[in-house]
Amino acid sequence: MLRSFDESTLWRISAFERQRAETGTSGFARLDATTMLPTTLHAELSRVQHGRGAGDPLEVIAACVRQRESALLLLRLDGYVWPLTLFPRDNLYHLPRPMFEALAANSRDLELISIEPPGLRPPAYAMPGAVADRSHFHRLPPLLWALALHVPRVALLTDIAGRAAYRASADFAIEGSTLAGALQPVVRRLRAEIASLADIARWPGMDAQRAARVLNGIYLQGGLIVLRTHRAARHGAGNQSRLLAWLRGQR
């Protein structure tokens, strides 16, 4: 039997796969009343899986955030199964162990195993047996930023890709994160300027991959303004198309 959510240990991939083969389930479901993902989220995920974001954990996370629907994502990272439960409406997530260090050290093997209905509820909706250890609930924005910077993908998320110019909202700030190197001035500059992906890639300390990651991170936290008809989008369209083609080739 798989361990409960409230334990800080993680299951190795081999143990998880053996358990799933024996039982036919992941073993993480805890709420009998929630057996299916919401229809709107299911439709959004189907669109993602049939597009170029198929199998991309960041695209799936973005879908949950857009729909503001809770879900359990089973992620493979560093040989372990990480049961990440998202609660976008509450701006929270649940994990039995901090993921930041593992993401920064070894994110190349990050993979989405499956997505399921949430197996627990956030503290605000306390029910007997439905809320895990409260110390394992955390604010969602810092994790979204870390995932955007470290997941294997190096392309813009589908919803913000294509011919466009970008700007960060004037009040946007990275919650709970210290930006290193060139990232802090880039975010500050994006609060004051409108630029295409190609423009941002030419800023000091940036390249195409870092520019895409920064834009993805700002978007996931709700701070990105996407402008499809701005002159910067038109002027940068040719270079941006070449950048996007190069980024896709690196995946």
Q: What is the pLDDT of residue 105?
A: 83
Residues 131 and 122: their CA atoms lie apart, in Å, by 6
Q: What is the pLDDT of residue 47?
A: 72
33-61 burial string, b = 16+ CB within 10 Å, else e? ebeebeeebeebbeebeeeebeebbbbbb
Residues 217 and 200: their CA atoms lie apart, in Å, by 14
Helix (H), strand (E) at residue 113 = strand 111-116
Query: Residue 198: which of 229, 164, 227, 172 has the closest Cα?
Result: 164
Q: Predicted confidence band at 225 (pLDDT cuts at 50, 70, 90)?
A: very high
Q: Predicted confidence band at 51 (pLDDT cuts at 50, 70, 90)?
A: low
Q: What is the pLDDT of residue 60?
A: 92
pLDDT (tens digit per residue) in 164-223: 999 999 998 877 555 666 688 899 999 999 999 999 999 998 999 999 999 999 999 999
Q: What is the pLDDT of residue 11?
A: 81
Strand, helix or coil for residue 195 = strand
Q: What is the pLDDT of residue 98?
A: 87
Q: What is the pLDDT of residue 242?
A: 55
Token pair belonging to 176: 């709970």
Alpha helices in the chain (DSSP H): 13-23, 39-50, 57-67, 100-105, 140-150, 183-190, 197-201, 208-220, 231-235, 237-249
Q: Predicted confidence band at 78 (pLDDT cuts at 50, 70, 90)?
A: confident
What does pTM read for this prediction?
Answer: 0.81
Q: Which residues pair with 86 in a beta bridge?
A: 71, 93
Q: Which residue has the higher pLDDT, 203 or 51?
A: 203
Q: What is the pLDDT of residue 181?
A: 67
Residues 63 and 123: their CA atoms lie apart, in Å, by 23
Residues 24 and 213: their CA atoms lie apart, in Å, by 36
Question: What are the structural domain ranges in the chain?
Answer: 11-150, 158-249
pLDDT (tens digit per residue) in 115-170: 888 888 888 765 555 455 678 899 999 999 999 999 887 889 999 998 999 999 99
